[in-house]
Amino acid sequence: MLAELAPNEREVHGLVALMEIQASRVKARVGPAGEPVLLFDQNRALWDQLLIRRGFAAIERAQRLRGMRGPYLLQAEIAACHARAHTNDETDWPRIVGLYGELAAVAPSPVVELNRAVAVGMASGPAAGLELIDRLVGDPSLRAYHLLPSVRGDFLFKLRRFAEAGEEFARAAGMTRNARERELLAKRHRECEERVP
């Protein structure tokens, strides 16, 4: 309805695209026991292709209009990068890094920087991502945000620094109020403990 009322607003089409593409993954986000399934572990065959196509069409409408790309359109284009990839390995991580750089310029926030660090880690390796994450550790607005130690733990795990990774997963598990996320993080903590010599 909003897109019909404001057909010449790029951000309106960007918001439609973002909603369509994010909604396309709903069936893949939760496992059979109700546990959260991370993007990298999702069965992409469960993604709703009709919603993805509708999201792509909304992005195309937005791209035909003049003006700066705003936060909704940039987030939609990031989501589209994931939707275009049939596997994690096919994901255009360098493009996602660039889009997060643009997003940080128009809507700066520590959470955007955290997401950009994840993309950098995927594009350039976990050490590069960890370097960016470590710059965010002291940010007061992320002090109680469980995804910061969770992401840091993941990079440390990939770098085979299992003791440190385990500490981060345990810290993240203690911060989240979501029981399913807590279970997932506790499982990651146990995996680290099993690998510590």
pLDDT at 3: 64
Measured distance CA(104)–CA(181) in Å, rounded: 27
pLDDT tens digits, one per residue of 133-175: 999 999 999 999 999 999 999 999 999 999 999 999 999 999 9
Write down the residue that tokens 């997003």 correspond to: 103
**Tens of pLDDT, residues 109-126:** 999 999 999 999 999 999
Residue 38 pLDDT class (50, 70, 90 cuts): confident
Distance of CA 75 to CAs 33, 116, 177, 187, Å?
A: 30, 12, 26, 30
| pLDDT at residue 1, rounded to an integer | 64
pLDDT at residue 136, as a whole number = 96
Of 99, 19, 17, nearest to 60 by C-alpha is: 17
Alpha carbons 126 and 115: distance in angstroms, whole number: 13
| Spatial separation of the C-alpha atoms in residues 90 and 84, rounded to whole Å | 8
Contacts of 3 (CB under 8 A, 6+ apart): 12, 13, 16, 58, 61
* Residue of 126, 134, 60 whose CA lies nearest to 93: 126
Q: Tokens at residue 11, please?
A: 């951000």
Calculate mean pLDDT across residues 22-47. 92
Residue 130 is predicted with a pLDDT of: 98
pLDDT at residue number 7 = 64
pLDDT of residue 195: 94
